Structure 1
Amino acid sequence: MHKRFTAFVAALAWGLGAAQAQDVYTIGEINSYKAQPAFLEPYKKGMELAVAQVNATGGVGGKKLRLVTRDDNGNPGDAVRAAEELIAREKVDVLMGSFLSHVGLALTDFAQQKKRFFLAAEPLTDKIVWENGNRYTFRLRPSTYMQVAMLVPEAAAMKKKRWAIVYPNYEYGQSAVATFKQLLKAAQPDVEFVAEQAAPLGKVDAGSVVQALADAKPDAIFNVLFAADLAKFVREGNTRGLFAGKGVVSLLSGEPEYLDTLKGEAPEGWIVTGYPWYAIHTPDHEAFLDAYKKRFKDYPRAGSVVGYNAIQSIAAGLKKAGSADTEKLIAAFRGLEVRTPFGPITYRAQDHQSTMGAYVGKTGLYGGKGVMVDFKYMDGAKFQPSDAEVKKLRPAAP
């Protein structure tokens, strides 16, 4: 009797689990939460807000979204192991996430090997959609190429001849520098690159970097450092007067997750990409801002928007596909349109890159905090290579 009862309970539990599985789409998300908390804590909140909103309106085709996250420790091997565990144990329907470019590339390769759909939410390297691109991988955030292309016209307009460069020495930084050199040289043929400092990610020796840049006597500086590396660089540069009289162009440095850390030490007059949440007065953004503040009693960061857009993209793709079948999702995402706080975006069929844009402006100080001023939104669709160029860049991806 006891054995029969146990078997009955087990069967009932299995049946309930199967029924619940049929009523949900499970999203498996992998990211560097411990390694990059400034960006990824707000990112997680953005995801949570989007999941709550989707589920409050009936889910996707009557199915609720369930989000399961894993930490990759900023390590490609850990990310792949997390992806395998999510598929085997959690039976996830969709994979998404990653922040660091080399981790994103590892998951891009995993998606191809396992023939599983993967949305790369945040990593910026162009290889994800070009050289290493594949049919299973799509990318949300504006790429390194796109964000550098947004900054180069401003850099060229400064008419500075001697440029120094500082960047984190891994895939994202290397890619950003190569693109900046290529595009600035095309826009300003007489430009010279007089110094380069490649710092280990998260371990910049700010004193020696600043001294080396100063010794080169540049007219302008292109910076790709971010997070704690950026804060150390800015503080040391301010102390030694590196930035005085020089133009500075800097990727991502207008994002509040990095400006907020600097407080009153935030630089003024840098040309940056970023997110001026406090001064974007469009209906879509104001609706997002109000909902975010109400739920978290805090203001959004750039990561918040990326996390929110990633979940909204997955929901839109599932709705269009009518299922979580990989091939149906791929077909749905090619040309998929998604409404976001930045306005509508589209996932390009030719390279699986979304047209999500970014804001370009200058850094300033207001109330003892760094802000963006004189900014404008740059539509990502206007800063991508032509179809012919994409074919050359993405030769192996069907």
Structure 2
Amino acid sequence: MNGTPPVRMGAFAPLSSPGWAGAGQQLLAGMELGVRHANDSGGVGGREIELLVRDTAADPRRAARAVDELAAAGVVALAGEYHSVVARAVATRADARRVPYLCSSSVLDVLTEQPSDWVARLSPPQSRGWRVYADHLREAGHRRIAVATQDSAYWAAGTRILRDCLAPHGGDVTEVDMGTHSVASACDALAAAGVTALLLLAGHPEPALPLVSAVRGDPRLGHLLLGAPAGQPELEGWEGRPGAGIPFLRYLPEQLGPLGVRVGKELRERLRSAPSFVAFEGYDSIAVLTEALRAHGADRARVAASWPSLAVDGTRGPIRFSRTPGSTVWQWADAPVQVADRDPSAPDRFRVLRSGR
């Protein structure tokens, strides 16, 4: 715009294997649309926003190196990431480099070991969302559940949250380690465990999708409710029968407002499919950073200092940041939480089973 240099933002998303590229593409589509809208409305003080995108491939070390690279390239702020352990690496490095980072779509409660004024987050903490999910299971009559899990700080934290929520009501959690079990032996373990629900705390597409197929084809396990609190059934690869009837967490309100409806329509055209909550998180990340830059200038320290004073109309509701109990970063405390599933009679249609905040 007017020959002035652009304002640079860094963006992180898993766009290649072993990252979940489908989620990364949704996230990036939202961020790119947010930049386009910001530039169409004047950019930042007449300067265009330029998005410098880095593929994390779900690798924390690669992401940390990218923070250094983007800091050296002069970005004024960072946004994005889907995988929680990668977002933690980005947050830790961004804090060390004094570059403001808005985490879009990752939920590990502890993003930085020490309190940071440089990091804020849109997605709700895992402990809040997964408690809503545990309440849904309990009220549906599920006390004895199994989790098919892999070695990850994210899955381990989720298992602890479920145990803590179910134990006071007489519930228990049986772990089936997919690092040691084959799909067939996992089915044997589930049949012997006497559980009524199986939660998929494991990677996509392997071993989660083969396990879904095996459980549904095993007559011993026909009574099991399949669940996926990490949100897999909303995303690519779970369309149709694979994701049908599997409750999952997503971060959308019951009804989108006018901005959300308009953005959702444009995202659908861009993605050529229905946008997930991850795409809306991407868009809202850019909307928040654009407002911070317009109000406080393209200065890293002033952007970071602005978190508690920002008030932004996002696609999913008004966004404000505060220090919530147990969090080391600035948090959108009112991010919406839903338990939803794909309607088995029409798998392209989603049903909202529970809403919470």
TM-score relative to the length of structure 1: 0.79
1:305 aligns with 2:280: yes
Residues 336 and 347 in structure 1, CA contact (< 8 A), matched pair in contact too = yes
1:78 matched residue in structure 2? 62
1:245 matched residue in structure 2? 223
1:331 aligns with 2:305: yes
Cα deviation 1:96-116 (Å, max 9, x = unaligned): 222222222212221222122
Long gaps (5+) in structure 1:
1-15, 380-398
1:225 matched residue in structure 2? 202
2:75 matched residue in structure 1? 92
Residues 154 and 271 in structure 1, CA contact (< 8 A), matched pair in contact too = no
2:93 matched residue in structure 1? 110
Deviates more, 1:221-230 or 1:63-72: 221-230
Structure 2 CA distance for partners of 1:30 and 1:286, relative to 1, 3 Å: closer
Q: Name the SS of the counterpart of 1:353 in structure 2.
A: strand
Identity of aligned residues (%): 19
Aligned residue identity for 1:238: R
Q: Name the CA distance, whole Å, in 1 between partners of 2:48 and 2:249.
A: 35
Offset of residue 267 of structure 1: 3.6
1:392 matched residue in structure 2? none
Q: Name the CA distance, whole Å, in 2 between partners of 1:205 and 1:178.
A: 24
Q: Name the CA distance, whole Å, in 2 between partners of 1:159 and 1:326.
A: 50
Q: 2:212 aligns with which of 228, 234, 239?
A: 234
Q: Name the CA distance, whole Å, in 1 between partners of 2:60 and 2:238.
A: 27
Size of the aligned set, in residue pairs, is: 349
Deviates more, 1:150-159 or 1:46-55: 150-159
1:56 matched residue in structure 2? 40
Cα deviation 1:253-275 (Å, max 9, x = unaligned): 475215x534223342x432237
CA RMSD of aligned residues (A): 2.8
Residues 60 and 319 in structure 1, CA contact (< 8 A), matched pair in contact too = yes
Offset of residue 332 of structure 1: 1.0
1:263 aligns with 2:247: no
Q: Name the CA distance, whole Å, in 2 between partners of 1:109 and 1:253.
A: 25
1:288 aligns with 2:267: no
2:142 matched residue in structure 1? 160
Q: Name the CA distance, whole Å, in 2 between partners of 1:58 and 1:122.
A: 27
Q: Name the CA distance, whole Å, in 2 between partners of 1:199 and 1:132.
A: 32
Residues 101 and 172 in structure 1, CA contact (< 8 A), matched pair in contact too = yes
Q: Name the SS of the counterpart of 2:148 in structure 1.
A: strand
Structure 2 CA distance for partners of 1:254 and 1:75, relative to 1, 3 Å: closer
1:373 matched residue in structure 2? 351
Q: Name the CA distance, whole Å, in 2 between partners of 1:204 and 1:123.
A: 28
Aligned residue identity for 2:321: Y
Q: Name the CA distance, whole Å, in 2 between partners of 1:342 and 1:46.
A: 13
Q: Name the SS of the counterpart of 2:198 in structure 1.
A: strand
1:192 matched residue in structure 2? 172
Cα deviation 1:133-175 (Å, max 9, x = unaligned): 4221111212211210221221221333322122332111111
Q: Name the CA distance, whole Å, in 2 between partners of 1:166 and 1:295.
A: 35
Offset of residue 294 of structure 1: 4.2
1:212 matched residue in structure 2? 189
Aligned residue identity for 1:343: G
Structure 2 CA distance for partners of 1:252 and 1:58, relative to 1, 3 Å: same
Q: Name the SS of the counterpart of 1:126 in structure 2.
A: coil
1:353 aligns with 2:331: yes
Offset of residue 52 of structure 1: 0.7
Aligned residue identity for 1:73: A
Q: Name the SS of the counterpart of 1:47 in structure 2.
A: helix
Which structure has more helix as a fraction of its residues?
Answer: 1
Structure 2 CA distance for partners of 1:72 and 1:192, relative to 1, 3 Å: closer
Cα deviation 1:332-390 (Å, max 9, x = unaligned): 112522222222222224541223223223442244x35422445433xxxxxxxxxxx
Cα deviation 1:314-349 (Å, max 9, x = unaligned): 1122223x2232332122112522222222222224
Offset of residue 183 of structure 1: 2.0
Residues 233 and 239 in structure 2, CA contact (< 8 A), matched pair in contact too = no
Offset of residue 198 of structure 1: 3.4
Long gaps (5+) in structure 2:
none
Q: Name the CA distance, whole Å, in 1 between partners of 2:259 and 2:188.
A: 45
TM-score relative to the length of structure 2: 0.87
Q: Name the SS of the counterpart of 1:20 in structure 2.
A: coil
Offset of residue 204 of structure 1: 8.2
